[in-house]
Each structure stands twice: as structure tokens, then as C-alpha cells.
Amino acid sequence: MFKSNVKKGICGLLLAAATLQSVDAQITVHTIGDSTMADQSETGEIRGWGQMFQQFFNANQVVVNNRGKSGASSKSFYLESPYWATVRNQIKPGDYVIIQFAHNDEKSNGMDGDELKALYTAAGKTAEAAATDYRGTTAYGTYKEYLRKYVNETRELGAIPILATAICRNYWTGSSIRLNGQHNLGDSFDSWDEATSSVVKSSVPANDFSYSYPHSTKEIANELSVPVIDLTNITKSLYESYGQTNSSSLLFTTSDSTHPSALGATLIARLCAQEMKNQGILADAIQSDADLLINPTLLDFETAYTGQTAVKTITVSAFDLSEERGVVRVSATNGVELSLTRDGQFTSELEIDYEDNNLSCATIYAQYKFVNVGALSASIIVTAGGKTKAIDVTANCVEVASGTEVILTWALNKDAEYELSGPATPLAQSWNEMIVQRYAAPNTNTIWPEDAPFQNGEITQRNLIDNETGEWPGSEIDEVSTRFIQFGISANDGTVLNVDSIGMYVCGAGGNGMRCRVYYMVDGEEGTVMAAADGTNLSATMTSNKMYEVSARPVVALQPGQSLYVRVYPWYTSKSTGKTICLSHVTIHGFASAVDGTSIQDTTIKHEIVKEEYILSSGLISSEPRKGVNLVRKTFSDGSVKTEKIMVE
């Protein structure tokens, strides 16, 4: 049994007890907002509070559909097709919709991004217009307009809207959260100076709340008779009770002053649920047994191919346990294994010591090896202080699809041309608010992954932000929804294209401030984040001139005419000129078959093998296999090709 010691506890923040009552039908609570709410990568330290919300509800009564989106403002979430439009389709009568924006509404520091862009354009300042982020809204104007849209459209669908003010940022003056940390820009906001056709700094008196987003949220709540959860004030009190030092180390990520840690997100979710109960909102479904918490409440390893290994994380918290010191025991069933570190020893059970009556959000890694085709039904059980809780664990194991092999590759070592093998339709590389600067190595001392088939000096595609100066804005802490580099593939008429691997190499050149997220998505659906092979969270840290292998093993069946897109969303953490994001060898791999399931062509091979290559889990090509499942591509003397799966121990 593996054992660890997690010391310092947290302050006792208790949910009032609630007697659970049955309801006629399960209710969905849809949460819409930004990255402080959104589901975040398990490889990083950031968590959204919506990600931690389900554990505070009886899952038989309430299901949380967390649709928070990193980088979203009230405007962009409404206007961009994968977000509010798709949430609307999920809402049913009797559901609840919690609406929390403001962080990214401040992108133009109090001005509306579209209006500011128009002013710059009219003044002939094209560079400034191009650099303006459209997501910004005015607290007194366009922000309110979008809140009204969400409220009214939610009600039209027979659901109940709830407005929530934005959680505070980690901005301090003395022992208190600063005004702008509370999303009130009144003491320093941007306004347009007609005389100089430029932006100038302005302020309003302390009793003028025109530039306070939380105040505007409450005004709309009052205007439209909507419940409001004042998360701004709630988190202000929470952070100030911890103090700046402890808030920074325990409740926030170390990479910025906006995003919560797992503990911070858990406490915010807990306090939000408590406030809902206090207001009589879904009070009978709020979890009364909140002293032992497991997140998520259902661990799904999703669908994967035989031979793959998946690792997910859960967090375990314990509050106000009866014994001052003790042990939290965690066990797993049916082949699921646990560890306290991603690269540590995995076992079926482990123990975690706690002190001060609390266990402060321990992260546990759960691993499952996909061996037997079919569905997994397992459990993870947590016991502490006489309390026991369990969560279900699910997975689905499938065989690699058969058919005619399809490989689409953009080498990106001299141009943006692609090379296609197999029956599919490539979609040319495209750029939105990005341009190609040049084709060159990131640096004279570029570091590639040890097992990459490339080395220092390999040419890459260096991409730059698309404005006249090549300057990154510097105020960005998350992706910009309109700035991305895209690749894609479509299934031909009459064929189903089973995409089984996607891979690429990504690097920031010129400084350590480059960040990115890489997604794959089908048509207009919301994207799935691809992970770095070494576990690095590329939205939190990227080492300059280091190439990261980014990959995914999706189980995606593209129907005739359907398209899969791969998008890279870059940003830079400081105001800088000329910094580039470097891309290399983007690869999409799969197998195509006729709609009726038959092969498109006969793949029986009777000739001598002249070449043998291994397709890695990332979709990249190697002359040597890796440990685990490999796809072997054999080229025969007649030019034909056959691909088969092998396991390397």
C-alpha cells in the first residue's frame, strides 16, 4: 500500500445541512461563463469552479452541464457558434442556467471592442484596429445587452436563469482585494479622446458604478427579476479571510492572478452551492454530506483503442473530520489503479495522512489500461473519519478501425503544402489573425523530444500574430477565440473516415511567454484539448525553443462530407514583438471504409516488403516502434501498402 502525507488543512467552510427529497425528474444545471468556470486540463494546476460543482449536488436529482469556455466574454460566448447556440439545444424546461461573465468583457478596459475597432478604423489607425480584441464590452451597455439575451432566451426555453457576478482576481491593496480585482474599473478605464483620436485613461467618482460589471449584473437581475449569486463579494470575503500570501499559494494557480487552483475552485463551488441553498434554489438537492468530497463524481476514461493507457485525475477533500489526525484510504476496483504522482507507482489502493481535521484537496491519478474490448464498470472508494464515498468509473474499449489507410501530413519545413495518402479530402492550412513569418528552425539550439525523428536544425513553420508590428498585446492570460491556425480533413462521399490519431510538434521561439491550446473538433462542435506527450500544460508554461509533441488518439467516425479540424490557439503572456509559435509535422491518421462497412479496395498483399514504418500514438512516423501499441505500415514491392497493429512489450 502506497502512503503519503498531506499536511496543512483549510478553514472550515461548511454547507448547512439539507434533508434530501425526491424530485419528479432529474434537473440539469447548465453553467456558462469563462475559464474561471470551465473544465480545465488535468495536466495543470488550474481548475474551474464549474468543474468542481457536481459534487455538491445529489446526482440523482441534479446533473451539472459545465459549458464554461476559456477566453469567453458575454459577447463572444453568445456570438460564436459552438457555445450558446449549442447550450440552447441542451436546455429543457425546468433546467437552470447559471450565467457568469466579466473577466474577458474587460479586454478593452471598459470599452466595447467592436466600437473601439470602428473608432480606430475611422481614424485611419489600421494597426490599432487590427490589434483590438472584439470581446470587450461596456459594463453599462453591451455587457447588459448580452445578459438580457441570456436571461430572456433561457426563459423562452422554459428554464430558470441565475446570474452570478464574476469571482475576484488576486489583486490586492494592503489586506483587501483591489477595486479592479472586483471587476470595477471605475478608478481607471479607457475612453476615446476625439481630439487626438486615441484612447486615454479616465475615472469616475467612487459612487459611480457605471464601470462595475458586478453592479451591472445586479441591475439586470433586479430589472428582470432574476436570482443573483454574488460570487464577487463571496470570493472577496474568502480571499481576505486567507490573506494575500495564503490565497496566492493555496487558492490560485501560480501562473497568473485570475485562475483558481483545485482547492480554490472547490471552495468557490461549495460557497456557490451554499448561497443557492440560502436563497432556496434547488435546496433539497444540495449535498448535506459535504465533509468528504470527490471530484469528479463520475470518472469516465471515455472510449479508447485496445493497448492504450489512459490517466485521469480526481481530487479528494475532507473537511472538519472528527479526528485531528488520521488517514484517508482510497481504493479502486476492476483494473483501475491509483497513484499520487503521474509518473509514480500505480496500485489498487493508497493512503493519505491528514492533519488539523482536514485534507486539503489531494490530487490522485487514476490509470486504466485498455485490454479487453467492451465497457468497463468500476469504482473508486474513499474512506475517512468514519465516512465512505464512492464514484463510478467507466470506459469503453474498441478495436482499431479497419479499411484503407489515410495519412495526411503537413511537414511545414518549406511551405504549407500537405501530403495525402488514401481516400479523403484535405482542407488546406488556414490562419485567422495569424500569419506565417518564415520557415526556419526555432533556434540554433532547439530541443526536440528524445524519441522524435528530428533533431536540432529541423526547419519549422514560424507563425506570428497578424498586425502591422507583429506585437503581442501582453494583457492575455488565455486563448483568444478569433486567433488560431487551422488544419483539417473531410470524409469523401460514400465513405466513413475513422480518425484514430492526430499529432504535431509545437514550440515557442524567442521567449518563455508563448502559450497555446491545441484542439480537435468535428464541424461546428466544441473542441477537445490535445495533450503534450510529456505532460506539460502548454496553456500554463512553454520553455523557449523546446519542441513539444502534442497528440491525441480520438475515436472519431467522420460520415460522408463531415470534417475534422485541428486548431492551435496561441497567445503571449507579455507585450512582445516578433515572438513566434513554431509548428512541425502535423499529422492526421485514420482508415476509410465504404458507408456499408466494406473495404474501399482490396488490401491483400503478396509481394516483398521494401519498407517498414511505425505510426506512433501521436500519429507521427518513426523507423522504430515504441513500447505499447504500434501501427506498422509495410510498403511492398508493387507499391501497395498494408497497415497492421502490433504490441511491443
pLDDT in tens, 627-648: 666 667 777 665 656 566 565 6
Of 482, 371, 441, which Cα lies nearest the Cα of 583? Answer: 441
The span from the CA of 281 to the CA of 256, in Å, is 33
Q: Which string of DSSP letters, residue by residue, matches 47-107? A: --GGGG-GGGB-TTTEEEEE---TT--HHHHHHSTTSHHHHHHH--TT-EEEEE--TGGGT
More confident residue, 5 or 476: 476
Q: What SS3 state is found at 450?
A: coil
Sign of CA dihedral 109, 111, 117, 123: negative
Predicted pLDDT of residue 644: 61
In this predicted model, what pLDDT tens digit does every residue of 73-119 receive, in sequence order?
999 999 997 899 999 999 999 999 999 999 999 999 999 999 999 99
Q: How is residue 558 written as a grid cell?
A: 467522420
Mean pLDDT of 348-372: 90
Mean pLDDT of 527-536: 89
Structural fold of domain 292-398: Immunoglobulin-like (2.60.40)
Predicted pLDDT of residue 599: 62
Domain locations in the chain? Answer: 23-285, 292-398, 404-603
Mean pLDDT of 428-443: 94
For the whole model, what pTM was predicted?
A: 0.77
- Is the pLDDT confidence value at 15 over 90? no
- Is the pLDDT confidence value at 16 over 70? no
The span from the CA of 520 to the CA of 29, in Å, is 26
Predicted pLDDT of residue 646: 61
The span from the CA of 252 to the CA of 507, in Å, is 26
In this predicted model, what pLDDT tens digit does every residue of 565-597 receive, in sequence order?
999 999 999 989 999 999 999 999 999 999 886
Q: How would residue 7 be classed by pLDDT, with cut points 50, 70 and 90?
A: very low
What mean pLDDT is reported for the chain? 88
Name 448's Cβ contacts closer than 8 Å, sequence gap at least 6.
454, 455, 456, 458, 505, 547
Q: How would residue 20 be classed by pLDDT, with cut points 50, 70 and 90?
A: very low
Sign of CA dihedral 30, 34, 35, 36: negative
Q: Which CATH class is domain 404-603?
A: mainly beta
Name 343's Cβ contacts closer than 8 Å, sequence gap at least 6.
none
The span from the CA of 78 to the CA of 570, in Å, is 22
Question: What is the CA angle 474-479-481, rounded to 5?
Answer: 115
- Is the pLDDT confidence value at 356 over 60? yes
In this predicted model, what pLDDT tens digit does every residue of 593-637 receive, in sequence order?
998 866 665 333 345 677 777 776 556 677 777 766 666 777 766
Q: Indicate the CATH number for domain 23-285.
A: 3.40.50.1110
Q: At what angle do helices 262-278 and 231-246 cross, to 10 degrees?
A: 150
- Preceding amide of 449 cis, omega within 30: no
Predicted pLDDT of residue 201: 96
Sheet with 563-572, strands from edge to edge, namely: 425-432, 484-490, 563-572, 514-522, 528-529
13-17, 230-234, 430-434: segment of lowest average pLDDT: 13-17
Instruction: With beta carbons less than 8 A apart as the criterion, state whether 560 and 494 touch.
Output: yes
In this predicted model, what pLDDT tens digit does every residue of 131-186 receive, in sequence order?
899 999 999 999 999 999 999 999 999 999 999 999 999 999 999 999 999 999 99
- Is the pLDDT confidence value at 463 over 80? yes
HSE-CB for 4 with a 13 A CA cutoff: 16
Residue with cell string 501501427: 631
Instruction: With beta carbons less than 8 A apart as the criterion, state whether 330 and 340 touch.
Output: no
- Is the pLDDT confidence value at 304 over 70? yes
- Is the pLDDT confidence value at 232 over 80? yes
